[in-house]
Structures are given as C-alpha cells and as structure tokens.
Amino acid sequence: MTRRETDHVTSEVIKQQNEIIERIRQNNENEYQKTGRMKYYRVITYGCQQNNSDSEKLKGMLRLMGYNQTENNEEADVILFNTCCVRENAEMKLYGNIGALKGLKKKKPDLIIGVCGCMMQQKHAVDMIKEKYSHVDLIFGTHNIYKFPEIFEKALHEKYTLIDILDTDGFIVENIPVERDEKHKAWVTIMYGCNNFCSYCIVPYVRGRERSRNPEDIIEEIRSLSQDGCKEVMLLGQNVNSYGKDLKIGFDFADLLYKINSIDGIERIRFMTSHPKDLSDKLIKAMCECSKVCEHLHLPFQAGSNKILKLMNRKYTKEEYLEKVNKIKEAIPGIALTTDIIVGFPGETTEDFEETLDVVRKVRFDQAFTFIYSKREGTAAAKMMDVISEEEKRNNFNRLVEVQNQISREINESYKDNIYEVLVDGPSKTNKNMLTGRTRTGKVVNFKGEAKIGELVNVKINEVHSFSLNGEIVINNQS
Ligand code: 5AD
Ligand code: SF4
C-alpha cells in the first residue's frame, strides 16, 4: 500500500511557517500600537478555480499575519498577483496591471508587490518581470505556496526582487490556513497536476504530474467545513476522474464521492474537471446513487473532428464522446452538461470546425466555454502550422457562440413555470431587491423572497434569459 507521505512533512513545515507567521503578526501588532494604522493585503487572482483556491490559502496566511483584506491598491501594504498562463490574453492583462503599480510603489516604497502562480513556472515570464518590472518584490511558483510566509518574510527585508521557484512537483502539504470568501460553499482541491499533455495545454508543465490527496485528509476537511456551515463542496482537480490512481490503494473518484455523500450537513457535491476518456461506468453509477451529487457535468470535448482530436492528443473520438454523453443522459435525466471548446487549433479547417458544430447541436450543452486557440510556447501544438486565416477562425468562433447561445436559451425556456431547489448565495448583484443562487444543475437564478445565505429554497421560474433565470420563492424548505 502506498499512501502520500505527507504527515511528517506537513507537521514540520507547517510548524516552521506558523512560527514565521507569528513573528510577522507580532511585528504588525507592535507597529499598530505605535501608529494606530492597520495593515492591508490585496490578492488579485487570474484563471481557474484552482488558482482561486490557492489564493484562499495565501489570504489565509496573510490574515494570520495580521493583514486585513482590501480591494483598493492605494490602501494595500501587500499586493499579490496570482497568475494564469493557459491563454495569452491573461498574460497580457497581468503585465498591464503590474506596470500600473510603478507609480504607487514610488509613492509607497514599503509596499510589497508579489507575483505567483502558473505563469511564474515559466522562465520567460520570470525573466520578463525581472527585466521590465523591477518594482516587483517577490516571485514564487505553484509548488511552494506552503512556504509563502518564509518567502514573504525574506522579501520584507530584501531590496531586490526575491525569486523562489520550485521546478519539481511540490509534495502535498495539508493544513495550510485558508481564508474562504464564502462560508456556505467551498472549493476543495482533491488532486494537483495533470498527466494528460493535451498538445495545446501548458498546465502539465506548470502544475506538474498528478498527485492525489489522501482520502482521509479530504474527508476531514469537508467534515470540518460542514461543521462551519458549509452546504456545498466543489471538488477540484485538472482531471478528477483519475483521482487516486497515483495512491495505489484501490480507492478511486467514485469511492470518494460515496464517502463525501455520507457527510452530515453537506447538501450538494459538485466536481470539475472531468476528462471524457476517464469517465467510467462506475463513476456514472456513483453519480446516480449519491443523492448529494448535483445533476451537472462539465465535460470538455474541445473539438469535434477526429483529426483535430488526435492532434490535440485527447485520446477519444467524436463518436466515443457522443456515446458517453448518451450514457450519462440516460442514467441521469435532466442533467446539465457544460463543456470547453477550442476554435482554430492548428490544422483545423472550416470543414473540421463543422464537426464541432455538429457535436454542439447533437449534445445540446447547457453552456459552453469557448476559446480561440492560443499558442503556448513549450507545448507540442506550438510547433504545428495554421491552415486558415485569423478572420476565418473568428468567423467560425462567432458562429459557434451564436449556435450555443440559442441552445442555452432554449434549454432555459424548459425551466419556465417549474419549481427548482436553489442554494441561496446572497443579494443579486444586478438587482438589489432580489436574491441570487443556483439550481442543482448550476443555473443562476435571481429571485424574489426572503432567505438567508446558505439556505435551500424552492423557487418558481417565471422568466428566462440565455445565462440566468428569474423567479420567486414558493416554499421555504427549511421553515
Ligand atoms: N488555447 C485556447 N484554449 C485553451 N485551453 C487550454 N489551453 C488552451 C490554449 N492553448 C482551454 C481548454 C481547457 C480550458 C480550461 O482552457 O478548452 O479545457
Ligand atoms: Fe490541460 Fe488536457 Fe490536463 Fe486539461 S486534461 S489540464 S486540457 S493537459
């Protein structure tokens, strides 16, 4: 039996980091006694939910050091950028935002500016920051977040840009302090890294190989979340369907779902992302049998043409994908399906693209996240050649969005006049007199009525849009 050998490392490393946290907290406290001024941090997160989850850890540590959260750069004593490199536009946005802080750093030389996350695992990005953005104080990667207190403390005393990047996959460190943005819902990372090497994707290079957390650590975390009032967990991993393979203890993702399903207080279980090649019959059965697992599956198909799927190294065909979708629709009637699609992969002709549209029309996804292919240096696809113009790609992309929006709207129409269970997220951002929440199928619902955050309510849908539904509470489940 192999288990992740984290316990020893965890307690030692965390103990050391906690001592540093306490030292910094003490300093901040002393300064507060002298000046009466509190200290603030701002963490700016780009990219996926994994990054958001990492940011919650950074925030947790900063909070224990005595910093309060702010969304205002002028007020901040620490500004951290947690970066994404999946597509080029996220990178461009980052450089713009770091550049914009040059003036503030001149005005406030004690301000600590840090850059971390996926982009910093790439040498060219670190070099760029060193060369052009010398006002950055610290740079670290994805594998050493647990060491943030140590890196941060050094940066507090160092004049030059401090760089701490681990090239090898980080081991899993449990019990890092977490500052969660919401109490009733939580992201729970169940595994790190990815082994798939889809030819367009940079993730395996910046997040390393698949490493699963021990089941007991995950269960313990969710139990404690539940005691704190959490109702919904989103299990995170680049490919959750291969959870457990590396542990070699005969315990897989389906087994994990059954365990989590039995935790009192948790009402809903979600997970992402699933790779179609690993979506097993056992998992479909677990989704049916676990009452708390929501009727929603995010199943990226990326492209419809078998030629492109092969070039993408996705390891399934269009026909196999459609077969899996049919199986899951049959097993879980009314399940919402969402997906990711890339348009304009090298070698994709408009004829190939028609196959993508065909999948979209056949499956009828509730929602699709659509991307134009973005070349990532170091990936296999970066060496492949384009065969159509940027304009033709853009045209295809627009056609895809139009077809998908129409389907999303038609599916939402079927919700009208029916009643759905909604988990209340709080006041609606668009209409202050309404509340907002989500159905089990993941639809955003804005509704009238009175309820508390984290409550489950029944909402009757009376108006539909492409991306949200409107309604009003009919019966309060918990009253
Ligand atoms: N270009 C465009 N989209 C990409 N994705 C990943 N890498 C790229 C890339 N190089 C998309 C995929 C993936 C989602 C998270 O981002 O669709 O599923
Ligand atoms: Fe990237 Fe493919 Fe891994 Fe997803 S499964 S993170 S697309 S390599």
CATH assignment of the domain containing 429: 2.40.50.140
Whether the CB of 279 sits within 6 Å of ligand 1: no
**211 and 330 both lie in a single domain:** yes
pLDDT category of residue 11 using cuts at 50, 70 and 90? confident
392-451 pLDDT per residue, tens: 999 999 999 999 999 999 999 999 999 999 999 999 988 889 999 999 999 999 999 999
How far does residue 334's CA lie from ligand 1's centre (Å)? 27
**315 and 390 both lie in a single domain:** yes
Q: Is there a domain that residue 180 lies in? A: no
Q: How many domains does the chain have?
A: 3
Q: Which of 365, 387, 413 is the last residue of a domain?
A: 413
Whether the CB of 275 sits within 6 Å of ligand 2: yes
Using left for φ > 0, alpha for ψ between -120 and 50, and beta otherwise, residue 392 falls in alpha
**Cross-strand bridge partners of residue 164:** 140
Going by alpha carbons, the residue nearest to atom 4 of ligand 2 is 238
80-139 pLDDT per residue, tens: 999 999 998 888 889 999 999 999 999 999 999 999 999 999 999 999 999 999 999 999
Q: Where are the beta strands (DSSP E) in 300-443?
A: 336-343, 367-372, 419-427, 435-439
Contact present, 414 and 455 (Cβ < 8 Å): no
**432 and 401 both lie in a single domain:** no
**208 and 307 both lie in a single domain:** yes
**396 and 450 both lie in a single domain:** no
Q: Which residues contact 256 (CB under 8 A, 6 or more apart)?
A: 190, 215, 218, 235, 243, 244
Which atom, in ligand 1's list, is nearest to the CA of 86?
7
Going by alpha carbons, the residue nearest to atom 13 of ligand 1 is 340
207-236 pLDDT per residue, tens: 999 999 999 999 999 999 999 999 999 999
**How far is it, in rounded angstroms, from Cα 224 to Cα 338?**
30
Q: Which of 398, 413, 428 is the last residue of a domain?
A: 413
Q: For tokens 């348009």, what's the residue? A: 343
Helix H segments across 121-191? 123-132, 148-157
Count Cβ atoms below 10 Å from residue 333 Cβ, excluding itself: 7
Which atom, in ligand 2's list, is nearest to the CA of 314?
2
Q: Which of 49, 51, 87 to mutate to test the pocket of ligand 1 (most atoms within 8 A of CB)?
A: 87
323-360 pLDDT per residue, tens: 999 999 999 999 999 999 999 999 999 999 999 999 99
Going by alpha carbons, the residue nearest to atom 17 of ligand 1 is 340
- Asked whether the predicted pLDDT for residue 12 surpasses 90, the reply is no
Domain region containing 290: 185-413
Going by alpha carbons, the residue nearest to atom 2 of ligand 2 is 198
Q: Is there a domain that residue 172 lies in? A: no
**241 and 376 both lie in a single domain:** yes
Whether the CB of 397 sits within 6 Å of ligand 1: no
257-296 pLDDT per residue, tens: 999 999 999 999 999 999 999 999 999 999 999 999 999 9
Which atom, in ligand 2's list, is nearest to the CA of 197?
8
**64 and 196 both lie in a single domain:** no
Which atom, in ligand 2's list, is nearest to the CA of 195?
3
**426 and 406 both lie in a single domain:** no
Which atom, in ligand 2's list, is nearest to the CA of 340?
7
**130 and 194 both lie in a single domain:** no
